[in-house]
Amino acid sequence: MADNRAVAYKGPGEVEVIDIPYPDFQLHDGPGVNPANVGRKVNHGAILRTVSTNICGSDQHMVRGRTTAPHDLVLGHEITGEVVEVGRDVEFIQVGDIVSVPFNIACGRCRNCKEGKTGICLNVNPDRPGSAYGYVDMGGWVGGQAEYVLVPYADWNLLKFPDRDQALEKILDLTMLSDIFPTGFHGAYTAKVGPGSTVYIAGAGPVGLAAAVGSQLLGAAVVIVGDMNAERLQQARSFGCETVDLTKGDPQDQIEQILGVPEVDSAVDAVGFEARGHGKDAGEAPATVLNSLMGLTAAGGAMGIPGLYVTGDPGGVDEAAKEGSLSLRLGLGWAKSLSFTTGQCPVMKYNRQLMMAILYDKVQIAKAVNATPIPLEDAPRGYQEFDAGAAKKYVLNPNGYIKAA
């Protein structure tokens, strides 16, 4: 059977491209695989030759050693591919299709899936609702930063692109449909962004920038992005965002300089549990962003929280943080009648509509996040540069489909 190369977590700060087995239609024992999933038949699945697979900030949390991820876990949940094999129970997806893979794995059969809550499928992860490829405590489905990957429930999960040539021409935009574009859009949508909204987005990494693009697509009047990284703030300004430099302290004063008032209608947390306090020399303070948003969101407003928060963080700043317990200003949020939405984005709720926006040139998400293709073997460099704050979204190109790489 064909060889397969993949990116694996080797320990804090270290990834390596290794040889792994070519996938078949069964889950095998391996790093991070839930014992209850070992031997699980996947006759409803498809095997993809990877067209593109992206490095995500959620991957970076694991690589920094900030989760309980086991060594040799194969990484990668942002996957676009060409179907090369289908299981015996697949009816509609065909060999040769170019498809986007939602990062959250869903069965399409359980109550949550039928209600559109595909980020918390009840059947794919024996430990808890919700699953993803190549991620700690998510059932052990092998990651997609590889030459080939198995995708279960193919007829349900895969989004087929209507035209192969068009898809490959726009692949740097379409690759963002597996996670960050729907996730950023979900952050804006759940923050109730609409025509004329004023929006503050904490974090100018790829998800924050995708939330900014999503806010613009939803009709926001002003989109403000805050970060401590000057290069990333410049990237936000490149497509029309206002920016806030958090090395200068709390964002409210700078927001007031932009809007005339120190509040916004909608706010998005695109940072998550590794948040730092405001100010040039501030250390890690994981509740900073959430508490800041409670203060700067107008009464009756909404907060979208696509930033990742975890139940286990070995590197947490204190014992509470190590189990995901944060000290929140919930009383303030309650007094202001704020609403907020957390959890995995249900990618399938948005990915087809966002695909259409890309195909008909209504949005240029790759340009906004500075999509940068690199070979699979350069993944360790990509992780290092991304961790150092590069204002880029690294797109791995395992099989040479992306000619620019």
User: For each successive 10 residues of the chain (405 residues), what is the average pLDDT?
Assistant: 87 96 96 94 98 95 92 97 98 98 98 97 96 94 97 98 96 98 98 98 97 98 97 98 96 97 98 92 92 97 95 89 91 96 96 98 98 97 95 97 75
Q: What is the DSSP letter of 126?
A: S
Question: What residue segments make up the domains of the chain, in order of their start?
Answer: 4-179+346-396, 180-341
End-to-end CA distance of the chain, in Å? 27
Residues with Cβ within 8 Å of residue 39, at least 6 apart in sequence:
26, 27, 28
Q: What's the pLDDT at 1?
A: 47
Instruction: Give which of 299, 296, 210 is closest to 249, Cα–Cα.
Output: 296
Q: What is the DSSP letter of 236?
A: H
In the three-class reduction of DSSP (H, G, I as helix; E, B as strand; rest coil), residue 276 is classed as strand
Tokens of 282: 């501030």
Q: What's the pLDDT at 405?
A: 43
Distance CA 215, CA 210 (A): 8
Q: Please report, for residues 53, 92, 153, 177, the alpha-carbon distance to residue 116 in angstroms, rounded to integers and kept in the order given.
A: 25, 20, 15, 17
Q: What's the pLDDT at 2?
A: 54
CATH of domain 4-179+346-396: 3.90.180.10
Tokens of 140: 């052990």
Tokens of 159: 């989004």
- Amino acid identity for residue 185 in this structure: F
Distance CA 374, CA 362 (A): 26
Residues with Cβ within 8 Å of residue 328, at least 6 apart in sequence:
287, 290, 291, 294
Tokens of 104: 């959250």
Is the separation of the CB atoms in 77 and 145 below 8 Å? no
DSSP strand E in 139-182: where? Answer: 148-151, 159-160
- Class of domain 180-341 (CATH, top level): alpha beta
Distance CA 112, CA 98 (A): 27
Q: What's the pLDDT at 403?
A: 85
The residues with which 8 forms a beta bridge, in sequence order, are 16, 74
Residues with Cβ within 8 Å of residue 115, at least 6 apart in sequence:
none
